[in-house]
Amino acid sequence: MSLLSFIDKLDDQCIRYVIILLLWADYIWETYLSIRQFGVAKSTVQIPHQLKDVMKNDEYEKARNYSIAKLKFGFVKQFHSIIINTVVIHQGILAEIWRFTEGINPFMDEVSTSCIWLVLLQLMTTLLDLPFTIYYNFVLEEAFGFNKQTAGFFVWDKIKQFLVLQIITTMVASIVIVVVKNGGDFFFIYLWAIVGVLTLVLLTIYPAVIAPLFDKYNRLAEGELKSDIEALAASLKFPLTDLYVVEGSKRSSHSNAYFYGLFKSKRIVLFDTLLAKDDGSGCDNDEILAVLSHELGHWSRNHNIKNLVIGQVNLFLLFTVFGVTFKYPKLYTALGFYRSKPVLVGLFVVLQYVMMPYNTVLSFLMTVLSRKFEFEADDFAVQQNKGVALERSLLKLNKDNSGFPVHDWLYSVWHFLILLYYSVLKL
């Protein structure tokens, strides 16, 4: 029996309950894993003997309390989310907002109605999440010394994020609707190709055009570090064109480093929080080079290209399923859309609900692949004789970010794949 045949035997209310059941199943599973991890964090009061040489008592206690605080926050936020999603599905709120949008839209065409509907949904989501975002940054992160945002910076940052998101999503949504409406029976092929091109364009312009709207980027000053990074890039034939430092310290004290760019034009970005400070935080030059050796390992092993190819294959599969199912009436009526079958609503239902079990499995498999890539990048750094410095840098970054080093085995397998990966290696 095909999926559509099965759906055809169900009434609207039953389909609605199936969607809610899938949402709650995912929520219960993730909450169960978090409860297990919460128990480990609460009970592991003493530093495990394996870590006594790499963490001090106060560092361990801060990391443990930080982990407990984030888990508690997650319990409340996820419960809030599942209740909101349940109410939205059960009460047909998506359809109510659509009918309201039709009433206020003077143009009465599907493209403009869909764009207004999307903006209203994102506005509602932003407002519902805002109290949690404020609490996380100005209470939880502040308590552990990580938040560096002022209230004014936070407000302006959120306004910019919302405006940029609306420009991008409404543009993409408009293109999707036009392609679906005019692409014929094989519209999903054209849709996949166009969205693939848009993805590459956004990946190209985001670091150079969009990211600077939110953070200040400065070229790395001349000196030993810059010379060493350029020498490392040259030795690996990495086509480095620019070195930047981003002022991440205005937002948070967490650290990071990455590279971006296509073909023969690559740029490396260091967070200013990664650089060594007088208070002992950050990394020394050799440790920064080790971190960059790890990142360049991803480039050398073509991990970004592999992820891009996998993403495009997955996108084609999702659009193919959408092409088969999006005209099916019950996918709309189950959510309260009785008079119309908007393309954007159909895409949302298929990608968010119909494909939910597939998305969960895919997420797990991508975590497996991500772990494999991370270990390969570590191995690449070791091959560049950066293993000892990489170990020191990872320990420092874990300390600076208050990473809790003890995990429940099942939580670890699902989220990090550490136990599973090493089990495979031993075989």
Tell me which residues are annotated as active site: 295, 378
Using the CB atoms, write b or e for 6-18: b if 16+ within 10 Å: ebeeeebeebbee
Cα 73 to Cα 50, 63, 244, 248, 339: the distances in Å are: 29, 15, 34, 24, 41
How far apart are the C-alpha atoms of 103 and 139, rounded to whole Å?
41
Asked whether 31 and 78 are in contact (CB, 8 A), the reply is: yes
The residues that bridge with 244 in the sheet, in sequence order, are 219, 269
Rounded to whole angstroms, the Cα distance separating 97 from 371 reads: 41
How is the beta sheet containing 266-271 ordered, strand by strand? 217-219, 240-246, 266-271, 257-260
- What CA–CA distance (Å, rounded) separates 400 from 277? 12
Angle CA 174–92–318, to nearest 5: 45
- Report long-range pairs for 166-174 (Cβ below 8 Å, ≥24 apart): 166/119, 166/122, 168/202, 169/118, 169/122, 170/115, 170/118, 170/119, 172/198, 173/114, 173/115, 173/118, 173/344, 174/111, 174/114, 174/115
If you write DSSP's letter for every residue of 60-106 in order, what string do you get?
Answer: HHHHHHHHHHHHHHHHHHHHHHHHHHHHHHHTTHHHHHHHHHHHH-S
Q: Is 385 helix (H, G, I), strand (E, B) or coil?
A: coil
Question: Would you state the structure tokens that stand for residue 355, as one six-digit string?
Answer: 């494909």
Bridge partners of residue 270, in order along the sequence:
245, 257
CB contact at 8 A, 40 and 371:
no
The verdict on whether residue 142 carries a ligand-binding annotation is: no
Q: Tell whether 30 is in a known binding site.
A: no
Is residue 260 classed as helix, strand or coil in its secondary structure? Answer: strand
What are the tokens at 34?
């978090």
Specify which residues 84 forms β-bridges with.
none
279 within 8 A of 361, measured Cβ to Cβ: no
Q: Quick one: CA torsion of 88, 82, 352, 134, rounded to 10 degrees? A: 100
Q: Residue 254 annotated as binding?
A: no
- CA nearest to 119, candidates 83, 73, 165, 151: 165
Q: Which residues are annotated as a binding site?
A: 294, 298, 374
Provide the annotated binding site for Zn(2+): 294, 298, 374
